[in-house]
Every structure is written in C-alpha cells, then in structure tokens.
C-alpha cells in the first residue's frame, strides 16, 4: 500500500489590479497599473479596476480605512480613482463623504500627478464642513442669526452683531419690541461689512438677504 501524499495549498498571491480606462473618446483602454495609466496621452478620465490575488498589503488596508470603506473589496474603487489623471476629484470635492474617499485614494497613490490639487480640494471641503459645524453650533448658542425671524433673549441674544462676509448686498434687517413696533431697521443695497446693536429691550430681530454673528 503506497503512502498518502498531501498536497500543499498554493501560497496566497498579493492583491493587484489591472485597469481599463477612458482615454479621449476611447473606452476600455487597458493598463497593467495606475502608474502606467498616468503616462497616457491624452490623460485618463475614468478607470475601472479588476482584482487578482487574495493577500492585501498593509498600505491597501490603510487606504480602505482612510476612505471609510467597510468592505475591503471596495479597494478596487480607489485603484480606479488612482488611475484617472483627469478624474473627478481633481476638479472638486462636493460632499463630506467624498472627502474621506479622496483621502483614501491619496493614501494609496500619494504620487498621483494631480495629488496637490486633490489635497487642496480635500482641505477646502474639510474647512467648509468645520465652518458649517461652527455656524450650526453658534445658531444653537444664539450667537449666529441665519436669515429669518428671531426671538431676542431665547433664539438670539442682545448685543453687538456683525454682518457675515466682507460685502453685503440687498440686505434688510429690523429690530422690534414686544408689541411689534420697529425700534431700528435698514435696507442696504450694497455695503462693506457693518455692525448693528440689538438692545436688551428688543423682542424680535428679522434679517433677509444677509446673516449676522454676535461679536459683543
């Protein structure tokens, strides 16, 4: 009786991707890597990636984490983004969810030909998100007046208020008492940034076409 011979499993192969990209008017142009796609003339505009192998590298896992993906198979999306020289994220980052994806892309291919522009777009979106979050908190605190009608003392606070932005156009503001009588108001066709005072006896504040933040 001959001895039983066990067959060893093949060693896991590193995960790699091949790309097919849109180049000019041609779709499905093949590339073996995103670095090869970068040399295309005209530049690649969009790419799709096809995976081979099963062993993900630490860099690939880090890119997936930076992008906020829950499924590592979504790594193919980052490879597709890396392959596109004239891709979507070289133009703009349009939402908070897209900024992490672009960051994941740059984690995977930090030497992308348009990396500086993509990073600038990420920074711009992040700054806008921080500003929006701060404004939202200020509204809750009663120190920021978005356009509308506000109760003084509960929704906003008395004090010195400054218009938001270096330039104001077509702005109407009005301060009223508890009987609805106008204490002070103005319509501004165009003017640089200015300040107004909402007195403690005011009951209402209305602003249209402009926003204000409390500065004192």
Q: Please identify which residue in the block is written with the tokens 């597709």.
A: 80
User: Please, what are the averages of pLDDT over each run of 10 residues along the chain (216 residues)?
Assistant: 60 94 95 96 96 96 96 96 93 82 96 95 86 78 87 92 92 94 95 94 94 89
Q: Are 189 and 169 in contact (CB under 8 A)?
A: yes
pLDDT for residue 208: 95
pLDDT for residue 184: 95
pLDDT for residue 209: 93
Instruction: In the chain, count H helices and then E strands.
Output: 5, 11
pLDDT for residue 170: 95
Find all residues with CB under 8 Å of 98, minimum gap 6, and list them.
Answer: 89, 125
Q: Are 86 and 43 in contact (CB under 8 A)?
A: yes
Domain locations along the chain:
16-129, 142-214
pLDDT for residue 3: 57
pLDDT for residue 132: 74
pLDDT for residue 8: 66
pLDDT for residue 157: 92
State which H helix or E strand residue 136 sits in.
helix 115-141
pLDDT for residue 138: 74
What is the spatial distance between Cα 27 and Cα 46, in angstroms, rounded to a whole number?
9
Q: What is the distance of C-alpha 79 from the center of its chain?
A: 20
CB atoms within 10 A of CB 169: 11
What is the spatial distance between Cα 147 and Cα 181, in angstroms, rounded to a whole number?
20
């Amino acid at each position: 009786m001959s001895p039983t011979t066990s067959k060893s499993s093949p060693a896991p192969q590193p995960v790699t991707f091949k790309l097919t990209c849109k180049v000019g008017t041609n779709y499905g142009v093949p590339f073996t890597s995103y670095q090869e796609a970068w040399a295309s003339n005209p530049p690649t505009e969009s790419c799709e990636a096809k995976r081979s192998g099963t062993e993900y590298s630490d860099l690939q896992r880090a890119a997936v984490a930076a992008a906020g993906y829950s499924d590592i198979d979504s790594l193919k999306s980052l490879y597709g983004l890396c392959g596109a020289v004239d891709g979507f994220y070289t133009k703009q980052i349009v939402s908070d969810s897209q900024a992490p994806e672009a960051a994941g892309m740059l984690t995977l291919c930090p030497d992308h030909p348009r990396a500086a522009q993509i990073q600038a777009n990420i920074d711009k979106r992040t700054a806008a998100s921080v500003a929006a979050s701060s404004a939202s908190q200020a509204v809750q605190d009663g120190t920021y007046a978005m356009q509308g009608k506000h109760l003084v003392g509960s929704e906003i606070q008395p004090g010195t208020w400054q218009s938001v932005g270096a330039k104001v156009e077509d702005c109407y503001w009005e301060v009223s008492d508890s009987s609805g009588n106008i204490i002070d108001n103005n319509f501004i066709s165009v003017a640089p940034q200015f300040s107004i005072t909402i007195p403690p006896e005011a009951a209402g504040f209305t602003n249209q076409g402009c926003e204000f933040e409390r500065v004192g």
